[in-house]
Amino acid sequence: MAMTTNEANNTSRRPAGTRRNTSKANIPPVSTEATARKLEPSVDDTSLETLEFEGSTMKQPNRKAQPDREAEIRHQERQQTIARLIEKRDEYVERLDIGAAKIEEARSQGKNVTLWEDYWIQLLRQYEAICDKLRDLAS
């Protein structure tokens, strides 16, 4: 073990290669309130976004980025759902128009169109359900 001498000229035994911690010797005492302020940075403090280590900078993960990313994913999923519902709604509009024309044509020829009308009303209810979903998503 190496012999070292401290400021008071006292000797102590410390393993070779170890250093004394002199960092606290030169720092004046601080109040508890000041220490608390240092430990609890303000929300707007952007200095915590990077960590510095001996000449290199390491980027910390942005804590706000995760909720923003999740919100972006939810927004994209919502937009995709809206797009699919709009396609389905347009398909129902086309089918309802064609069905109504065929029902009128068959009725004019004297055919019984009761089953066709029942089916057309089922399509109309499905169309209305999609419109309700679109309205809910839009709000």
> Environment class of residue 88 by beta-carbon count within 10 Å: exposed (0-12), middle (13-18) or buried (19+)?
middle
| Beta strand ranges found along the chain (DSSP E) | 2-5, 11-14, 50-53, 56-59
State residue 42's pLDDT score.
46
Q: Give per-residue pLDDT as tens, 38-72.
A: 444 444 444 444 445 455 555 555 555 577 888 88
Q: Give per-residue pLDDT as tens, 105-127.
A: 999 999 999 999 999 999 999 99
- Using the predicted structure, report yes or no on whether residue 138 has a pLDDT greater than 60: yes
